[in-house]
Amino acid sequence: MAVDVRIGGALAVVTLNRPEALNAFDGGQIERVVEAFRSLKEHREVRAVILTGSGDRAFAAGADIKEMAELTEAEGLVFGRRGHVMASAIETLPQPVIAAVNGFALGGGCEVALACDIRIASDRAVFGQPEVGLGIPPGWGGTQRLTRLVGPGLAAELILTGRRVKADEALRIGLVNAVYPADELMAKATELAQAIAKNGPAAVRGAKRLVQLAYNGQQGAGLETELQLFGRAFGTSEQREGMRAFLDKRPAVFSDD
């Protein structure tokens, strides 16, 4: 099972569970996340959701590079759109979603955390948008949501260099709200979820939407352009080299063509 959903009273915990690939999102895992969040929408008794990763190494190490490596341009666009649908299923869930980031949140993993309403992290968390090193731009909302969260200068640095950000820096730049020792993370996430769940559920749902309206603005156009450029990257030799290099466990060598 690639995604576990556990409902207990007013809280639900969704766990990305593909530890052999550091919880990377292949097509199956994307579909299961979408199904999980669509079904939570129907669970009116659930008032707050925690999203985390199984094991102690990763929240999610990104989109599955093995699955992406040989995609054509058309297939790349479809894969990008599936990631957008997943991020949107999380973002538009009426109930608030807290990302409890317990390790690597890279690429698509960082983008999924960014689609949540609130992020808290363990002291072992590592964030990043390393896609350009694989010959593609971020394609699941990261260019838009990271920029809105941490500001354009910092987002440009992180996205254009692919530099990784550890928990203490993530806290300093506002990428996460709080950092806790790894063994306290889920208890702290539960406390936060409970503090939300005790409030008026309709008011909370309305307030979630209103915060997003303030934050998202014209995000739609940016997301669509991101998707087009992401798809187009799969028609380039850069993407082939970047992803093959990762799978061959060697540094990528990019030429100018």
User: What tokens does 230 get?
Assistant: 């992401």
Residue located via tokens 């838009």: 144
Name residue 85's amino acid. V
> Which of 111, 157, 169, 238 is labelled catalytic?
111
Annotated catalytic residue 111: yes
Nearer to ligand COA, 44 or 66 (CB): 66
Q: Which 3 state secondary structure label does DSSP give 13?
A: strand
Angle between helices 27-42 and 73-91 (to 10 degrees): 30
Q: What six digits make up the tokens of 44?
A: 């009116």
Please list the residues that pair with 179 across neighbouring strands: 121
Pair of tokens at residue 72:
């054509």
Query: Which one of 12, 13, 22, 90 is in contact with ligand COA (CB under 6 A)?
Result: 22
Amino acid letter for position 11: L
We find the least distance from the C-beta atom of residue 138 to ligand COA, in angstroms, to be: 8
Hey, what long-range contacts does 227-230 have (CB within 8 A, 24 or more apart)?
Answer: 227/77, 227/80, 227/81, 227/84, 227/139, 228/77, 229/137, 229/139, 230/76, 230/77, 230/80, 230/136, 230/137, 230/138, 230/139
Catalytic residue status for 131:
yes
* Stretch of 20-28, 31-39, 84-92, 216-224 contacting ligand COA, by CB under 6 A: 20-28
| Residue nearer to ligand COA on the CB measure, 132 or 186 | 132
Site membership for ligand COA, residue 108 (CB under 6 A) = yes
Residue 129 or 190 with smaller CB distance to ligand COA: 129
Taking CB under 6 A as the rule, does residue 71 contact ligand COA?
Answer: no
β partners of residue 122: 180
Q: Is 101 in the site for ligand COA (CB under 6 A)?
A: no
Q: Which of 14, 65, 118, 171 binds ligand COA (CB under 6 A)?
A: 65
Q: Candidates 83, 96, 130, 231: give the one binding ligand COA (CB under 6 A).
A: 130
Span near ligand COA by CB under 6 A; candidates 101-109, 173-181, 192-200, 220-228: 101-109
Return the closest-CA partner of residue 38 out of 14, 61, 22, 10. Answer: 14
Nearer to ligand COA, 64 or 117 (CB): 64
Instruction: Determine which one of 67, 91, 131, 226 is catalytic.
Output: 131
Is the Cβ of residue 30 or residue 197 nearer to ligand COA in the bound state? 30
Catalytic residues: 111, 131
Q: Which residues of the shown chain bind ligand COA in the complex (CB under 6 A)?
A: 21-22, 24, 61-66, 104, 106-108, 130-131, 134
